[in-house]
Structure 1
Amino acid sequence: MASPHEQDLQHPDNLAGGMLFCPLALLPEGWRRNVMLRWDAAGTLIDVRADQTAGQAPQARGPVIAGMPNLHSHAFQRAMAGLTEVMGSPSDSFWSWRKLMYRFAQRLQPEHLEAIARHLYIEMLKAGYTSVCEFHYLHHAPGGAPYADPAELGLRVMQAAGEAGIGVTLLPVLYQYGGFGSQPTSAEQARFIGSAQSLLAMRERLLQALPENALRRYGVAPHSLRAVSPAGLEELVSGLRQQSGGQDAPVHIHVAEQEREVNDCLAWCGQRPVQLLLSLQALDARWCLVHATHMDQAEYQAVAASGAVVGLCPTTEANLGDGIIDAARLLASNTRWGIGSDSNIAINLRSELRLLEYGQRLHHRRRNVLASEAEPVVAERLYLQAVAGGASASGRPVAGLAAGQRADFIVLDGEDINLAERSPEQILSALVFCEHDGQPIRDVHVGGRQVVRDGHHALEDSARRAYRSAVAALLKD
């Protein structure tokens, strides 16, 4: 069944596409005045020109910037926010958090996941994320038995995304083992476990039920090198290339998130995780290395040369105590990167960018670490690079306000007290580095279709009620 937003794509009034006159817009090359955006019926920008006159075109009610791709999300974890912030032991870490997450995941039913994802994706849209890469590893019923439809939970996520109107790249996750060297899994991981062939069959089922279109794509995600064997990784990637749309489909993987992961990998095979991955696969622009927090100089150089994208999730990485990537080195190497909300404890792209820079300031003990002589405005450099890297990771044309890209954009509230009276060069700095009361975002368009108007989404109230009901059921003793 087509979602309301997919039906809208085919509405007679939309067959001619649309246009918007922007008195001020941030294009990939920088701020420009009097920009006319034109898009076709499919929601693709066909013309972006500065120094135009408005004529009869609708006019944006504030500065316009590209929508941000969110390159890493675990939707169900949104309902866990705040549940793990009590000390279990003096050595609390990612690994103790993971045990709590596994226990929470055991209670989720399909209707819970759909309600959580729908509400989450509406939150993302209102925050300026216009697309999301969903790293989807909850596949089976509690106990590990498959659903009658093996893609049941993936289809629930896609239905939620379609109703919200957000662009989505679904990444069904391969999870085989409990640790490096094909260690056995635990009972709590039973809902995740599968084979490369079952994962590829799931992707085929998703393609059959909800084919790829302008709003959705399907890739795959080997969970991590500790959870997928070298043979399983090769079988998955090779099999993907044989499927519909698989030749350029995204491949995402968690890698080098924690120091213990690095040490365990060294103990098992004598190589660091990123080093091992590079020896197993020919990485390219289709790959996204999520976190990649702990790399040495050779790994930084090799990842940059490969063209792969690094997925940074500063809020989650801070929450889990993962460590701080050397983002100054990452940017200096011209590695592509983007941002993700990961565990979804925060749905705020501005705070992700702010924390990325602030982590570097604390580490290097200086300011404006992620600026450069060519790009001295930190927020502007970070925003444009995150959009471009996120687009590559999503496998969708959402790289900014340029012809051939999707008409995904945000209209900022130009009357917001923290944005008003700012020069164009100061707007993104005020957006990212000045904490606001609420979101200074007025309107959001995805593929030219307005999904947020005056800060509100048409389904937000019903989605909030369903989300609250799901959380109540999950937290019930």
Structure 2
Amino acid sequence: MTTALFARHALLPGGWQRDVLLEWDAHGDLTRVAPGAAASSEVRQAHYVLPGMVNLHSHAFQRAIGGLTEIAGDGPDSFWTWRDLMYRFAARITPEQIEAIAAQLFAECLRHGYTSVCEFHYLQRDVDGGSYARPAEMAERVAAAGAATGMGLTLLPVLYSHAGFGEQPLKPAQARFRTNVDEVLGIVEALGPLRNGQLEVGAAPHSLRAATIDQIRALASGLPPDRPLHIHIAEQQGEVQQCLDHVGRRPVEYLMDHVALDARWCLVHATHLDEAETAALARSGAVAGLCPTTEANLGDGLFPLAPFIEAGGRFGIGSDSHVSQSPVEELRWLEYGQRLLHQQRNVAHTRAQRHVGDYLWRAALEGGAHAAGRRVGLLEAGRRADLLVLDDAHPNLDGVNEAEVLGRVVFCGNDNLVRDVLCGGRWVVEDGRHVAQEEIARRYRQALRDLRAVTS
């Protein structure tokens, strides 16, 4: 069975094209992308069509604490004070609840234009810190939420062995995260039968704080070579100083001294880089995984985007703690943070692409696709049938030409301009609503009620 969509304007690898016929098969793969086609009354039609965005960094369970940590303490608040609150919440989540929370998150992400999520999954053990009968139980629940909502997933079981540099023992609040290399590889193997066009499985050393260099190398060598690897790194100044104190190197510098970084790697945040690290990361082909709304929410700092772009670096965006589920907000924060930093306008561009919205969208697609390790990010035959239909009836898109579309989408207003979403060849959002929105929201509300009963 093949289905199709006719787009008056579609963003293809070479740029905007007109009168594009897109066809996909029953497996959810694009089989034909033909510009200059003729419209047919038998084929669904759309005006503006984009590739769906990749969300390259997610902790799904944190969706349930959005807005609950915005209370000032007695002293300066930071990532570290936020983390203590997050730990208390994570201590009580059940498999059923994480599935309900993840489904709500994925439905929201789909409605706003994400069609792929990389789930950095470290909530592995039961509430007492013991192993589930199936050690992959919690990851399987996230996968089930992806299947139910239609979201494309890259599951990244996390290696989390230590509380800090120097192999500090885990704290009681971190007991649910505890894994060693063999356990992570075992979870990866257990998830193997779930792999298909909609789901890939990689792995993630949590950070240089939580995994040693020897562990990181062992995990990288034990994982099949075509699978993605992600790691948190250099997110806060405190982490940079701890790394300097412990090994005499900055985090990215230290990692690159000991691990051969390449395109299978995604360095999440990488906020605090010096000039040498910025250039070396760009040369490596690894993706910088930028999460501007979370980095702003936590007060982390600003990534050196302009020199990274100048050096040819590859980046993507993620919603991380999910204070926002909108790729538009991530891209806007990414650019506006740089404008404030440099006190100038239109920072994210190249000589070849001076339209900032177009550059950001397409660069984030490319970097996100590499980080996901899936055939996504472009509208071309052989890729997944993941696409967004914009609301051409909205005033923000009235009378615009192709060159103006992404500038309007990213930088004009706060209305969501995504009308319909196709993900893996399945229409999962129609007229701005997820096809299972009411039932997903019902289960989410019940999960939150149950969690509040045991955490308050």
Match runs of 1:295-374 below 5 Å: 295-374=273-352
Shift of 1:57: 4.9
Aligned equivalent of 1:152: 137
Q: Which runs of 5+ in 2 are unaligned?
A: none
Q: TM-score, normalised by structure 2?
A: 0.98
The one of 20, 23, 31 aligned to 2:8: 23
Do structure 1's residue 141 and structure 2's residue 126 form an aligned pair? yes
Match runs of 1:214-253 below 5 Å: 214-240=197-223, 246-253=224-231
Do structure 1's residue 470 and structure 2's residue 447 form an aligned pair? yes
Do structure 1's residue 213 and structure 2's residue 200 form an aligned pair? no
Aligned equivalent of 2:257: 279
User: What is the percent sequence identity of the aligned residues?
Assistant: 51
The one of 273, 279, 289 aligned to 2:267: 289
Deviations 1:1-42 (A, max 9, x none): xxxxxxxxxxxxxxx222211001111221111111122332
Deviations 1:203-242 (A, max 9, x none): 111114x2x11110100000001100112112211111xx
- Kept in 2, the 8 Å contact 1:19–1:57? The answer is no
- Kept in 1, the 8 Å contact 2:6–2:46? The answer is no
The one of 63, 70, 73 aligned to 2:48: 63
Task: Specify the SS of the correspondent of 2:249.
Answer: coil
- Kept in 1, the 8 Å contact 2:335–2:346? The answer is yes
- Kept in 2, the 8 Å contact 1:21–1:57? The answer is no
- Kept in 2, the 8 Å contact 1:20–1:57? The answer is no
- Structure 1 vs Structure 2 CA RMSD: 1.1
Aligned equivalent of 1:75: 60
Shift of 1:364: 0.3
Letter in 2 for 1:263: Q
The one of 178, 181, 185 aligned to 2:163: 178
Letter in 2 for 1:376: R
Do structure 1's residue 124 and structure 2's residue 109 form an aligned pair? yes
User: Within 2, Cα distance between the matches of 1:261 and 1:29?
Assistant: 41
- Kept in 2, the 8 Å contact 1:17–1:42? The answer is no
The one of 359, 373, 377 aligned to 1:381: 359
Deviations 1:227-268 (A, max 9, x none): 00112112211111xxxxx22100000001011111110110
User: Within 2, Cα distance between the matches of 1:423 and 1:56?
Assistant: 24
User: Within 2, Cα distance between the matches of 1:59 and 1:53?
Assistant: 12
Task: Specify the SS of the correspondent of 1:32.
Answer: strand
User: Within 2, Cα distance between the matches of 1:400 and 1:56?
Assistant: 26
The one of 248, 263, 275 aligned to 1:270: 248
The one of 84, 90, 110 aligned to 2:69: 84
Do structure 1's residue 450 and structure 2's residue 427 form an aligned pair? yes
Aligned equivalent of 1:260: 238
Task: Specify the SS of the correspondent of 1:290.
Answer: strand
Match runs of 1:79-118 below 5 Å: 79-118=64-103
Q: TM-score, normalised by structure 1?
A: 0.93
- Give aligned pairs, total: 454
Deviations 1:338-379 (A, max 9, x none): 000000111011010001000000000000011233211100
User: Within 1, Cα distance between the matches of 2:227 and 2:262?
Assistant: 11
Shift of 1:60: 2.8
User: Within 1, Cα distance between the matches of 2:271 and 2:382?
Assistant: 33
- Kept in 2, the 8 Å contact 1:61–1:413? The answer is no
